[in-house]
């Protein structure tokens, strides 16, 4: 958590939209508090409509803040117009100038700042190197692929050295493979340039890939802020776990094979209000050899098996502690045929323990001196 006076602090921010006469206003952001330290990348992760873009736009100054404060290095940004905040913006569709060359796009912000021509040229070459487009300066943007365009948009946003870069779903318009590659490149570019950034996405893989910390949002509120491994290991609530892709919630006793949890597995699984979140790799398929069933394994019927480079992914109807559920498990070796009766066991390393009804948790912000 950043100290007050260091980087971005958002405190109790509310963003509302007037829905017109006779309709109630929409509260898109409902009292959010967050900090982003200098040099850090924070992802805002959440489902469509949860208020991510509204929060980002409020930080940018594009949307008025109905309550709360946004500060940079302790200075209140209330009343500071967008172009005076020193923040950079990048959107899903890059919004390049179509009739300029790549270099003409990247140097745009530097021209506005009246940076001398030689310094502009050097900076453009440096940034094209950072985004992996060396030698592309003279290309017309109309001749570029979607991925190349987003790289140009990133170089353009980074060129004036914004003190904060705000990225709104910058990779969503790209296909999956390209998105994964660009997510890695984006992370490298932000780190190499020491840029402080807030990155909006609805894709948890992308958030984990790009950000140092992730803020999970739902219905205008922040549910949890944590590093990717912390978030994955210890989701604060079932809502967070569901959003991260945990597929089922079983009683905590499912993890206790008559003794304490295995080393490396989730800790603190006991207690009446706890449950086990079963992750995508949290179930293992065991043969049902007709012998007495081992403790804490459950019968299941194979629905489908799909080969994946990391192992066979098996869809099963599991007769588990929460009734019959269609779940995905990982099988070692050959893919079992549909209809095969098997047993499944939990793999503690692929599970997390969550409270059943954990309250929404806001990040605590030190009070201003
Ligand atoms: N200009 C607007 N006028 C009225 N309501 C709006 C406006 N912009 C957003 N909203 C509403 O505010 C809520 C939050 O929208 P926002 O775009 O911030 O969510 P989001 O998490 O970024 O979603 P998405 O991922 O779909 O862009 C939604 O209910 C949306 O319908």
pLDDT in tens, 120-145: 999 999 999 988 999 999 999 999 98
Same domain assignment for residues 126 and 180: yes
**CA angle (49, 211, 120) in 5-degree steps:** 100
Cα 198 to Cα 206: distance, rounded to the nearest angstrom: 13
What domain count does the chain have?
2
CA of 26 to the centre of ligand 1 (A): 9
Tokens 């870069």 sit at which residue? 165
Residue 327 in this model has a pLDDT that exceeds 90:
yes
Share of the chain above pLDDT 70, in %: 90
Q: Are both 39 and 162 inside the same structural domain?
A: yes
216 and 229 share one domain: yes
Q: How confident is the model at residue 271 (pLDDT cuts 50, 70, 90)?
A: low
The CATH code of the domain that includes 350 is 2.40.50.140
The strand ranges marked E within 147-295 are 164-168, 197-201, 213-218, 221-226, 248-251, 274-278, 283-287
CATH code for position 187: 3.40.50.300
**CA 29–ligand 1 middle distance (angstroms):** 9
Cα separation, 347 vs 104, whole angstroms: 54
Residue 272's pLDDT is what? 57
What domain range includes position 91? Answer: 7-233
* 341 plus 292 within the same structural domain: yes
| Protein residue with least CA distance to atom 22, ligand 1 | 53
366: in domain:
no
Co-location of 227 and 242 in the same domain: no
Give the pLDDT confidence score for residue 352 in this predicted structure.
94
Query: Which residues lie across from 297 on neighbouring strands?
Result: 345
Q: Are 366 and 4 in contact (CB under 8 A)?
A: yes
Q: In what order do the strands lie in the sheet with 274-278?
A: 248-251, 274-278, 351-355
DSSP 262: P
Would you place residue 309 in the very low, low, confident or very high pLDDT band (cuts 50, 70, 90)?
Answer: confident
Q: What are the tens digits of pLDDT across the range 242-267?
A: 999 999 999 988 887 653 344 444 54
76 phi, psi to nearest 5 deg: -70, 135
Rounded to the nearest integer, the mean pLDDT of the chain is 88
Residue nearest to atom 11 of ligand 1 (CA): 28
For residues 19 and 145, membership in a common domain is answered with yes
The pLDDT tens digits for 156-214 are 999 999 999 999 998 888 888 888 888 998 999 999 889 999 999 999 999 999 999 99
pLDDT of residue 333: 82
Nearest to 351 by CA among 268, 257, 271, 266: 266
Indicate the DSSP class of residue 111.
H
* CB 128, CB 134: distance < 8 Å: yes
Report CA-CA distances (Å) from 339 to 93, 143, 299.
46, 52, 12
Distance of CA 28 from the midpoint of ligand 1 (Å): 6
153 and 273 both lie in a single domain: no
Q: Are both 116 and 174 inside the same structural domain?
A: yes
Residues 159 and 174 in one domain: yes
Q: Are residues 189 and 63 both part of a single domain? A: yes
ipTM over 0.85: yes
187 token code pair: 């992370």
Closest approach atom of ligand 1 to CA 53: 22
Q: Give me ligand 1 centre to Cα 177, in Å.
A: 28
* 86 in the same domain as 113: yes
pLDDT tens, 218-233?
999 999 999 999 999 9
Of 1 and 21, the structure prediction assigns the larger pLDDT to 21
- Calpha distance 200→207 (Å, rounded): 8
Q: State residue 51's pLDDT score.
A: 96
Which residues on adjacent β-strands are paired with residue 325?
318
315 and 206 share a domain? no
In a domain, 368, yes or no: no
């Amino acid at each position: 958590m950043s100290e007050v006076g260091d980087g971005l602090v958002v405190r109790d921010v509310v963003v509302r939209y007037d829905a017109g006469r006779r309709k109630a206003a929409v509260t898109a952001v409902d009292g959010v508090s967050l900090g982003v330290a200098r040099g850090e990348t924070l992802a805002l992760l959440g489902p469509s409509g949860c208020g991510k873009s509204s929060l980002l736009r409020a930080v940018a100054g594009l949307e008025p803040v109905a309550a709360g404060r946004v500060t940079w290095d302790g200075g209140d940004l209330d009343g500071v117009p967008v172009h005076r905040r020193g923040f950079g913006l990048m959107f899903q569709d890059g919004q390049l100038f179509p009739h300029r060359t790549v270099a003409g796009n990247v140097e745009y912000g530097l021209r506005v700042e009246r940076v001398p021509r030689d310094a502009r040229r050097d900076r453009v070459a440096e940034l094209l190197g950072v985004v992996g487009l060396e030698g592309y300066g003279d290309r017309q943007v109309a001749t570029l692929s979607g991925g190349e365009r987003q790289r140009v948009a990133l170089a353009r946003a980074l060129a004036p050295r914004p003190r904060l870069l705000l990225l709104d779903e910058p990779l969503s318009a790209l296909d999956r493979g390209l998105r994964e590659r660009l997510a890695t490149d984006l992370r490298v570019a932000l780190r190499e340039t020491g840029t402080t950034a807030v990155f909006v996405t609805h894709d948890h893989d992308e958030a984990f890939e790009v950000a140092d910390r992730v803020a999970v949002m739902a219905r205008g509120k922040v549910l949890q802020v944590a590093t990717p491994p912390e978030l994955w290991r210890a989701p604060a609530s079932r809502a967070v776990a569901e959003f991260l892709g945990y597929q089922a919630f079983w009683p905590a006793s499912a993890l206790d094979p008559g003794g304490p949890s295995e080393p490396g597995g989730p800790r603190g699984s006991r207690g009446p209000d706890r449950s086990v979140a079963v992750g995508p790799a949290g179930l293992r398929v065991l043969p049902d050899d007709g012998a007495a069933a081992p403790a804490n394994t459950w019968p299941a019927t194979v629905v489908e098996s799909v080969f994946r480079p990391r192992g066979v992914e098996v869809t099963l109807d599991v007769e588990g502690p929460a009734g019959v559920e269609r779940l995905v498990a990982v099988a070692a070796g050959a893919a079992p045929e549909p209809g095969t009766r098997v047993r499944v066991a939990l793999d503690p390393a692929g599970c997390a323990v969550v409270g059943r009804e954990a309250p929404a948790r806001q990040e605590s912000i030190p009070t201003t001196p």
